[in-house]
Amino acid sequence: MHFGQKINQLKTLLFIAIVISLASSCSNSSTKATYRSFISPLVGLNVKSGNDFDVKILFGKENKVDSVVYLIDTVKAISKTDTTAIKLTTTDLKLGNHLLTAKIYNAGESEDLTSNINILAAKEPDLYTYKVISKLPHDTSAYVEGLEYHNGFFYEGTGEKGSSDLRKVNVQNGKVLQRARLDTALFGEGITIIGNKILQLTWMDKKAFVYDKDTFKQLAELTYNREGWGLAFDGQKILTSDGSNTIYFLDKDNYQQIGSIDVYDDKGEIRSLNELEYIDGKIYANVYQTNTIVIINPENGAVEGKIDLTGLFPVADYFKTDDARGNNVLNGIAYDQAGKRLFVAGKKWPYIFQIQISRVK
């Protein structure tokens, strides 16, 4: 017998053994109902926040059950004594993915069925356009990762290995007044001002730094166990992004995570959230490598507005290589609370723009 023939014979014998084993198993459990799956909702169903959704399960030969308990995530939603269809509401659910479990009890035994739904924003976001109020000079060597306006000055966190720093900048002429350079092996990211301190992230280096706002003296080096992208401060807690559709909340004193929101519009998740700014009770976020800033409800993650900044700066004309055009995109949002002025920037752009936005839809 050839070796290949012997292998095929062994495969055949193994297959026969499996069939016999399955037949025996089915015979031994022939009196037990087999619950198969959810008919509704199908896995990954999108449901707008506030809407109800249908729930129905498909079960096996026996339709007699003692009870069915439905859970959303780990919280009991409803209990029934049969498997007839029901409706569940999304009113109190956070945006994002939720696990649905039907726990079926019969004759002292139980079986779990699972599905999941995605909760989207309840309505389409408002659309905004812009008007340029002024153009302010900006250092074209600054790969902008974080931008803040505070007491009449810009504060910038810049990126790229070998060039990353923290800087204080004259608003009117773009002159760098104060600087703290990062180690050349580090890639700087977002910054935010928290009282008399400045927090700065690094991209993939698992480090963050705390500085004295006035002297730029480094006060602490922190371990930061996710990618660093954007930062903002809402007066109570720190907001941070990591390029996903999640915004994390950190304690302002010990920098530990205390919560999060997942960001969705009425169509789906909004990923690549980058530089952040907290403005009049809303979170503004650059969507990386786009001309869009989204306006986010900090309570539930719903995108309530989108600002289209197409045409603000001719990246394709100014940067002459594909690599430069792809990298030096819109990034940087700062707000003058007292003067109600909104500023936006881009990586290595020659200007920081003061803009005024207006709703178009």
Query: How high is the pLDDT of residue 30?
Result: 41
Half-sphere exposure of 282 (CA within 13 A, CB side): 14
Would strands 351-359 and 67-72 be described as parallel, antiparallel, or unpaired?
unpaired
Three-state DSSP state, 86: strand
H-assigned helices in 287-350: 315-318, 322-327
Query: How high is the pLDDT of residue 7?
Result: 41
Residue tagged 């060039």 (tokens): 163
Query: How high is the pLDDT of residue 361?
Result: 63
102 vs 94, 105, 111, 346, CA distance in Å? Answer: 20, 10, 8, 49
Residue tagged 């927090």 (tokens): 199
Query: How high is the pLDDT of residue 240?
Result: 98
Going by C-alpha positions, the residue among 185, 278, 205 that lies closest to residue 239 is 278
Ordered per-residue pLDDT tens for the chain, 361 residues: 343 444 444 444 444 344 344 444 444 444 444 547 899 999 999 999 999 999 999 876 555 788 999 999 999 999 999 888 999 999 989 999 999 999 999 888 888 999 999 999 999 999 999 999 999 999 999 999 999 999 999 999 999 999 999 999 999 999 999 999 999 999 999 999 999 999 999 999 999 999 999 999 999 999 999 999 999 999 999 999 999 999 999 999 999 999 999 999 999 999 999 999 999 999 999 999 999 999 999 999 999 999 999 999 999 889 989 888 888 999 999 999 999 999 999 999 999 999 999 999 6
> Mind listing the domains of the chain with CATH numbers?
35-120 (2.60.40.10), 126-359 (2.130.10.10)
Query: How high is the pLDDT of residue 63?
Result: 58
Going by C-alpha positions, the residue among 240, 244, 242 that lies closest to residue 226 is 242
The tokens for 151 are 């007491």
Contact 104, 68 (CB under 8 A): yes
Query: How high is the pLDDT of residue 294?
Result: 98
Listing from the earlier edge strand, what are the strands of the sheet with 257-262? 231-233, 237-241, 246-251, 257-262
145 vs 15, 214, 316, CA distance in Å? Answer: 59, 20, 20
The tokens for 116 are 């999941």
The tokens for 162 are 């070998």
340 vs 95, 149, 357, CA distance in Å? Answer: 30, 11, 12
Displacement of CA 348 from its chain's centroid (Å): 25
Going by C-alpha positions, the residue among 187, 146, 180 that lies closest to residue 164 is 187
Q: Exposed e or buried b for every residue in 173-210, given b needs 16+ CB within 10 A?
A: ebeeeeebebeeebbbbbbbbbeeebbbbbbebebbbb
Query: How high is the pLDDT of residue 320?
Result: 86
> Exposed, middle or buried by CB within 10 Å (0-12, 13-18, 19+), for 33?
middle
Residue tagged 């993915």 (tokens): 97
> Exposed, middle or buried by CB within 10 Å (0-12, 13-18, 19+), for 48?
middle
d(CA 357, CA 359): 7
Query: How high is the pLDDT of residue 28?
Result: 43
User: What is the per-residue DSSP string for 270-299?
Assistant: ---EEEEEEETTEEEEEETTSSEEEEE-TT
